[in-house]
Amino acid sequence: MTAYADAYREIRSSWRTRRTIAVAAFAVASFAPLVFGDARTADLADGLYLACAAVGLAFAVGVAGLPSLAQGAFVAVGAVTGAHLLAAGVPTPLAALAGGICGGLSGLIVGYAFARLPRAGFAAATWIVSWLVAFALQSITWFLGGSQGIVVSGGPTAAQHYELALVLTALAALGYVALAHAPIGLRLAAAREREPAALALGVPVFRLRAAAVAVSGTVAGVAGALAVQLAGVGDASQYGSYLSFRLFVVVLIGGTLSPLGAPAGMLVLGVLSLAADAVGRLENIAASRAHTLLTAVMLLGIVSLGWEGIVRPDRGSRRGVLGTGPVRMEAATLNVTALGKSFDSVAAADDVALSIEPGRITALVGPNGSGKTTVLRMLAGAIAPDRGRIDAPAGAVARTLQSTAVFPTLTPLEHILVASAGQRARSGLVRSLFATPKARAEDAAYVEHARRLLDRFAIPPDVPAGELPLSDQRALMLAAAYATGASVLLVDEPTAGASTAEAGRMTDLLRSLRAEGLALLVVEHNLGVVRRLADRIVVLDAGRVIADGTPDAVAADAAVRAAYLGHQAL
Amino acid sequence: MAVALQILASGFAAGAVYGLVAVGHSLVFRLTGVVHFAFGELIALGVFVTLLVAAGSGPVSQTSVGGGRFLLALAVGLLVTAAASAGAYFLAIEPYRARGSVIGWVGASLAVAFAVRTLLVVFFDRPAYVFPDPLPFRRIADRGFWHVGGATIQVRTIFVAAAALTLAGLGSALLQRTRFGRALEAIAQDFDAAVLVGLPVARLVGIAFALAGVWAGLAAILAAPSAAFDVDAAARYGLYGLLAAAVVWFDPRRALSAGIALGLVQATVTSAHIGGFELGPAYSDVIPLALGLALFAWRARSMTEAVE
Amino acid sequence: MATHREALTLVVNAPFSRSPYLARSIENGVRLAAGEVNANGIRIGSKTYELHVTTMDTALSPARAVANMRRAVGQHAVAVVDEGTGLDASWRIANEDGMPVGVVFEGGSQIVDPVTRPNVFRIAPTDHGIAFRLAEYLVPKGLKVALLHDDSDYGAAGEQALESAFSRNRSSVAIDETLAADALDLGPQVLRARRAHATGLLVWGRPATIAAVLTAARSSGWNVPVFTPPTGSDPFVRQQLADNPSWVDGLTFASGRLTAEVGTGPFLTFEQKYESSFGVDRVGVKSGGRPVIAPPESAMYAYDFVNLIAAALLKAGSPDPAKVTAALNEVTTEGANGDQRAFNHNNHEGIVDDDIYFAHFRDMIYVPVKDDALSATLPTLPQTR
């Protein structure tokens, strides 16, 4: 009971007017079968199943940032599964579940196959997938029975399907909210905004993207299986590439970053179909052609106006409560021996050896092109070395990027939650979807921890990171790397572009981290900062270590001076 | 042997057209990072405008168009394709590409594709069209057919393959040996740097879009009289061209070969009998697409490095 | 003083967006008949009714056909004239209201069954009838026939019908091949048929497939006879082969008889009415220097069904669809071509299988063959203007 009471209080405290409107709209919509006849109710139910599938797509497109054009294919997979099972007499709920499972598996396969691609490539791949499925359904009559289709008789009435579709759409929207709010959604959003930075924070980007596509496929599969029963016939021609386009349009029109966007988009498309009927009659064009044309023209108009969708995103608040937050890994030393990496015939790193010890700051310096960033990327695991060894406990190393790479629309609080998500025990897909009491309690504890961390780093928690001054952004990158719980931090040019005061802030932060016992490797061009900060300096030139010692020893090294061509003395 | 020769000839011809479309896709992608989803439909637009000017929109027979009228129709069709391609770039793609909005240009290019396709189907609503063939193939060999090794091969099939390869060669020469081509290469290597050094990037890319449409459109128009033609057939060139380009990750130098390979696979699946076993036409789209996607997925495995 | 008339909705459920020529032919036939009926109206009791025609596009999609049927029921339509796509699913919805459905194109045998589907009627040649007549015509010729069908739904249905028709004469079948409906080149498949020593080709597919097979065969110098179902008469075949008119010569197709035993008069009258209302359908080729036209075959079947509906309304004495369905089993009308059209409780097929005839092309127009008993009695329709 306490858990339910907590949940109720939480919902009540975060309630907004738009949620009241949404609930009211759903409630009013539930009376539609009383007003409309069977045919119209069936049309509305079909539209709602599509809206449900579109909510699933909105998760992949909006939260994960994946331009998925295969949602129609996943609906088709669900429909084929549903049609065969229903025709064989399997009860509707089981057929729907099977459709969801098959749709989810298809999504998982597509996600795993193509989630590594850049977004343009992902769009191309999923577009081809949608055509493949369409051709398979049309050519191989076993799937959906050729021109007569597979007849699916019996089952709920049109009105019952309507209510079921309404409930499913509402549940899909709630699922969207739960997942978008949860660590999985935050990490996907981070990867959407800046994939390299997300990878640097240990976000398993490709796995999560595959999961996002699987989630969208599952929702589509359920919708497809039920829609085919409503239609009374499994019909291959309904699952062409136009279905994927239509779902994509619905999501874009309604808004990709809100769970209510897809239903709103479907409503617009429904109104459009009435207009299409009128245009069709006027111009003696078949209504389906007019509908396609109007949909395409409308989408062109909407994207050309820079429209972001009818329903704007709603950033919910996050409650923090003291509890068990993230735990730091044990202090560890990162040892590197004989590390080497070549790109074509150029040796970017050659026989590099160094040791990054707890409670010490090691600076890695060298002229431009000396291989510092390559070494850093190898130590972080971003690229594989050609030879040599890197000894460090798994997950003990975190890195900041050279460029200022925050996630512009995420708040600093959300940055820290993304970084610390890897340590959570209750942030899996199912727990996130159902927002279990333990998952919410863990979330509250992590939120509180994040607020305290941001307080320590003097970063405002609730402003979108893109609006923060540069120094706050650099500090945020460091805070996020720290929040991963890593005991070894690789910091790439923390004072780049900073004023003296800003550089001082960063060096103070680094010293505080050293005092905590972290092992720090700092790549820096500002030799004054290096001199003041580092316990040890490693100098690279043309990929090789030419000096490794205390700041005084390195400053006196003739080879170091020669490498810098006397431009700047340590 | 005879069947194999016919498969080779028909597969090579279709594949060469796919390859040329794939080169167009690759060029567009290299320049802008955009996948041109409307490419097939814009090619179809060119083909049908040519048909409209040459023979109207009523019933058509292959004898009804003279050489002069056909040339005029061809010029108009290619001009429309060029204008539509460039227009699609400036209006529907560039605004989103510039903002880095992938979702935006994906939506916009798809919208262009469906808008063009639907317009074509509204005006050209017959299930198939006969495309006029002004070239005198009937006077070559045995009324336009060569008999080789027991196989009968349309002269026009060889012509289509040769024309597509020639166009690919000319396109390659244009890109590698002209100032225009070098400018495009600079843009492909670093868009922002090209802007900084003063190249009229937007204009050059618009011209490249137009040329890509014209090149591929010309190949499609040359292939059209080979058989019954409809809007879907032209749109499929875009799909197969995209698949061929994607498999080689939009490398223009390999896109043509990928297209030809795709055409050969398709012809083999459709027509080959091995022992008593045949896959048959039911799989003529499914198998090539599935194989191509599998290859694409294999390539995707190596794409682990995100650009910082 | 004009008598007030109540409207009775008559729905045309056809693929307007995907097969506009066929769909418009059906619609035109319905409108022509409805216009004639409405001239006097349908007097039932004290009320006079007239038929209002509504069209719905199936886009060749069974799901859309089902949705359209729901809409038709919702609009309290008195009957539906249907091209046939999706009937296996949609008939049930019409049957809940007892609404009669008249199929005027699809020929699949499972579509019509007076016992299990009492509200479904057909006026169109059946695939079964065409396939069996083809077998009956070809087997005695001693030909070794290559059965070529495309992978369209039409071709797949034809494959089943041919398999049944030739099941007792497999020795007459040289080879059975599936062709890609949208293939650019059917050379390899035709070559295989030749290598199987076929002495005749039976091509069951869309017009484009038939044209492609003819091209592949004739171009290689293989002048074997080619036989087809009604799609062989589609204008597209002649358009595609206009460059080589001699390749069309001898192409033989099976179709429902356009004229009746009483002669060509009734059909020509119908054709005249049709052309006055909707214009002439030009093929685009010439014969003897004159433009060739296509006779309105599909329109005729739709026209006949509407007339049967009108008669059934009068017989039923009520616009109630269920009563109209029952009455359809008891009325007879004269068809557009002069034949009597009627159904009964045991038979809902308006075209008898025996009424399939054969015609072959000569100089771009078709002429009934002389080596078939029925066909030899039929006149050649004027096909030029």
The predicted-structure confidence for B40-63, as pLDDT tens digits, reads as follows: 999 889 989 988 888 776 655 555
Cα separation, C375 vs C256, in Å, equals 11
Beta bridge partners of C79: C10
The reported pLDDT for the residue numbered B308 is 42
> For the segment C117-170, what is each residue's pLDDT rounded down to a tens digit?
999 999 999 999 999 999 999 999 999 999 999 877 788 889 999 999 999 889
The pLDDT tens digits of the residues spanning B208-250 come to 888 888 888 888 888 777 666 778 877 788 999 999 999 999 9
CA–CA dist C309, A417 (Å, integer): 72
Query: How confident is residue B67, by pLDDT bands cut at 50, 70 and 90?
Result: confident
pLDDT digits (tens, 9 = 90+) for B21-46: 998 899 888 888 889 999 999 988 99
Report the residue from B157, B272, B281 with minimal CB separation from C151: B281
In this structure, are residues A389 and A338 in contact, taking their beta carbons and an 8 Å threshold? yes
What is the CB neighbour count within 10 angstroms for residue A310? 17
CATH number of domain containing A346: 3.40.50.300
User: Which of A261, A285, A304 is at the close of a domain?
Assistant: A304
Q: Across the interface, do B14 and C17 touch by the CB < 8 Å criterion? A: no
Flag whether A329 is in a domain. no
pLDDT given for residue A205 in this prediction: 93
Query: How far, CA to CA in Å, does A241 sit from each of A69, A130, A134, A416, B113?
Result: 8, 6, 7, 40, 11
For C56-66, what is the mean pLDDT?
A: 89
Q: Of A166-180, A335-349, B133-147, C252-266, which range is least confident?
A: B133-147
At B306, is the pLDDT very low, low, confident or very high (cuts 50, 70, 90)? Answer: very low
Does residue C74 register a pLDDT over 80? yes
Contact of B220 with B41, CB cutoff 8 Å? no
Residues 6+ apart with CB under 8 A from A122: A66, A67, A68, A114, A115
Domain residue limits at A545: 334-563
The helix (H) or strand (E) run that includes residue B136 is none
Residue A294 confidence class, pLDDT cut points 50, 70, 90: confident
State the pLDDT confidence band at C332, using cuts at 50, 70 and 90: very high
Considering the domain B2-300 in this protein, what is its CATH number?
Answer: 1.10.3470
Q: Where are the alpha helices (DSSP H) in A381-469?
A: 412-420, 429-434, 437-456
Query: Cα A416 vs. chain centroid, distance in angstroms?
Result: 15
Residue bearing the bigger pLDDT, A392 or A358: A358
pLDDT tens figures, C274-283: 999 999 888 8
Q: Which is it for strands C101-103 and C79-82: parallel, antiparallel or unpaired?
A: parallel
Q: What is the mean pLDDT of residues C60-67?
A: 88
- Same domain, residue pair A279 and A359: no
Output the CA torsion sign for A467, A469, A475, A478.
Answer: positive
Contact residues on chain C for B285, CB-CB shorter than 8 A:
none
Same domain flag for A512 and A407: yes
Residue among B62, B223, B271 minimizing CB distance to C189: B271
Shared domain check, A364 and A238: no
Task: Quote the CA–CA distance of C14 and C68 in Å, as a whole number.
Answer: 10
Whichever domain contains A203, its CATH number is: 1.10.3470
Nearest CA-CA partner of A73 in A94, A50, A36, A103: A103
Q: Averaged over B254-274, what is the pLDDT?
A: 86
CB A491 within 8 A of CB A523: yes
**A365 in any annotated domain:** yes
Compute the average pLDDT of residues B67-94.
88
pLDDT of residue A285: 59
Quote the mean pLDDT of chain A: 86
Strand blocks (E) in A227-333: 233-234
Q: Among A304, A321, A347, give the residue marking a domain's end.
A: A304
Asked if A105 and A222 touch (Cβ cutoff 8 Å), the reply is no
**pLDDT of amino acid A191:** 93
Q: Is 70 exceeded by the pLDDT of residue B262?
A: yes
Length of chain A: 570
pLDDT: which is higher, C262 or A160: A160
Residue A4 pLDDT: 65
Please say if the pLDDT value at position A193 is more than 80.
Answer: yes
Instruction: Kindly list the residues from chain B whose CB atom is less than 8 angstroms away from the CB atom of residue A297.
Output: 111, 115
pLDDT tens digit sequence for A237-277: 889 888 999 899 889 888 888 888 888 888 888 877 777 77
For A293, the closest chain B residue by CA position comes to: B115
C62: contact with A, CB 8 A cutoff? yes
Please give the Cα distance from A192 to A215 (Å, whole number): 17
DSSP bridge partners of A545? A540
Q: How close, in Å, is residue B87 to chain A by CA atoms?
A: 13
Q: What is the pLDDT of residues A30-80, one digit of tens each?
A: 888 888 888 889 989 999 999 999 999 999 999 999 999 999 999 999 999
**Probe site for chain A from B18, B110, B116 (most A CB atoms < 10 A):** B110
Question: Going along B238-298, which residue ranges are E strands?
Answer: none
Strand partners, C9: C52
What is the ipTM, given to two decimal places? 0.92
Percent of chain A with pLDDT over 70: 92
Q: Which residues of chain A does C151 touch, with a Cβ-Cβ cutoff of 8 Å?
A: 139
A59 touches B at CB < 8 Å: no
Place of tokens 């063939």: B133
Q: Can you say whether residue A313 is alpha, beta or left, with left for phi > 0 and alpha for psi between -120 and 50 degrees?
A: beta
The tokens for A540 are: 């690279």
CB of B2 less than 8 A from some CB of C: yes
Which residues lie below 8 Å from residue A59, measured CB to CB, with a gap of 6+? A176, A179, A180, A212, A215, A216, A219
pLDDT greater than 90 at residue A551: no
pLDDT at C253: 96
Over residues A499-523, the mean pLDDT reads 90
Which residue in this structure is represented by tokens 């409309």?
A36
Residue A418 lies in a domain: yes
Residues A372, A284: one domain? Answer: no
Q: Are C385 and C293 in contact (CB under 8 A)?
A: yes
Average pLDDT taken over every residue of chain C: 90
Alpha helices in C142-222 (DSSP H): 153-165, 187-195, 207-219
Would the pLDDT of C312 be above 80? yes
Closest CA to A554 of A352, A362, A375, A292: A362
Tell me the three state secondary structure of residue C84. coil
Backbone CA torsion sign across C126, C132, C136, C142: positive
Q: Is the pLDDT of residue A349 over 70?
A: yes
Residue C254 has pLDDT above 90, yes or no: yes
Buried b (16+ CB within 10 A) or exposed e, B227-254: bbbbbebbbbbbbbbbbbbbbbbbbbeb
For the stretch A93-149, pLDDT in tens is: 999 999 999 999 999 999 999 999 999 999 999 999 999 999 999 888 788 876 668
Domains annotated for chain C, with CATH where assigned, are 5-126+297-352 (3.40.50.2300), 128-259+285-294+355-376 (3.40.50.2300)
Name the nearest CA neighbour of A261 among A214, A203, A309.
A309
List, in sequence order, every residue forming a beta bridge with C344; answer none if it has no partner.
Answer: C347
CA distance B195 to C83: 59
Using CA atoms, how far apart are residues B215 and B172, in angstroms rounded to an integer? 11
pLDDT tens readout for residues C201-236: 999 998 888 988 998 888 778 899 999 999 999 888
Nearest to B51 by CA among B228, B299, B240: B228
Average pLDDT over residues C258-285: 88
Q: Please check the confidence at residue A567 and state whether its pLDDT lies above 60.
A: no
CB within 8 A of A363, min separation 6: which ones? Answer: A521, A522, A523, A524, A530, A533, A534, A536, A537, A538
Residue A57 lies in a domain: yes
Phi-psi region of A435 (alpha: psi -120 to 50; beta: other; left: phi over 0): left
On whether both A290 and A345 belong to a single domain, the answer is no
Beta bridge partners of B42: none
Q: Measure C269 CA to nearest chain A CA, in Å.
A: 29
Beta-carbon contacts of residue B275 (< 8 Å; ≥ 6 apart): none
pLDDT of C101 reads 97
Strand partners, C356: C256
DSSP state for residue B224 in the 8-state scheme = G
* The Cα angle at residue C64 between residues C59 and C67, in degrees rounded to 5: 150
Residue B13 has pLDDT above 60, yes or no: yes
**Do residues C325 and C248 lie in contact, with contact meaning Cβ atoms separated by under 8 Å?**
no
Residue A382 has a pLDDT of 82
Q: What is the pLDDT of residue C138?
A: 94
Q: How close does chain B come to C313, measured CA to CA in Å?
A: 36
Measured between CA atoms, the residue of chain C closest to residue A234 is C63
Residue type, C162: L
Residues contacting A290, CB < 8 A, separation 6+? A276, A277, A279, A280, A283
Cα C183 to its chain centre, rounded Å, is 25
The tokens for C98 are 């007892």
Residue C284: CB atoms within 10 A of its CB come to: 19
Q: How many residues make up chain B in this entry?
A: 308
- Report CA-CA distances (Å) from A347 to A284, A339, A371, A387, B12: 69, 11, 9, 12, 44
Res. B305: pLDDT tops 60: no
Q: Which residue has the tokens 């004495």?
A: C317
Q: Among residues A372, A368, A342, which one has the least CA distance to residue A354?
A: A372
Cβ of C108 within 8 Å of Cβ of A148? The answer is: yes
Structure tokens at C334: 């004269």
Mean of pLDDT values over A462-470: 90
Q: Do residues A82 and A208 both lie within one domain?
A: yes
Residue A18 maps to a domain: no
Name the residue among C230, C224, C282 with its Cα closest to residue C258.
Answer: C230
Mean pLDDT of B286-305: 86
A141 CB neighbours in chain C (<8 A) are: 156
Average pLDDT, chain B: 83
- Does the residue A43 lie in any domain? yes
> Is A303 in Cβ contact with B293 (below 8 Å)?
no
Question: Shortest CA distance to B240 belongs to which of B274, B282, B288, B196?
Answer: B288
Q: What is the pLDDT of residues A431-449, one digit of tens each?
A: 788 877 788 888 888 888 9
Locate the DSSP E strands across A182-315: 233-234
H helix intervals, A140-204: 141-144, 158-181, 183-193, 195-200
CA angle C238-C241-C242, nearest 5°?
80
Structurally, chain A folds into a number of domains equal to 2
Residue A14 placed within a domain: no
CA–CA gap between residue C136 and residue C132 (Å, rounded)? 6
Q: Do B111 and A242 lie within an 8 Å CB cutoff?
A: no
- Assess whether A376 and A505 both reside in one domain: yes
Give residue C76's pLDDT.
93
Asked if the C-beta of C92 comes within 8 angstroms of chain A's C-beta atoms, the answer is yes
For A461-523, where are the E strands, in sequence order?
488-492, 519-523
Closest CA to A125 of B296, C212, B3, B89: B296
Asked if A270 and A47 count as a contact pair (C-beta separation under 8 A), the reply is yes
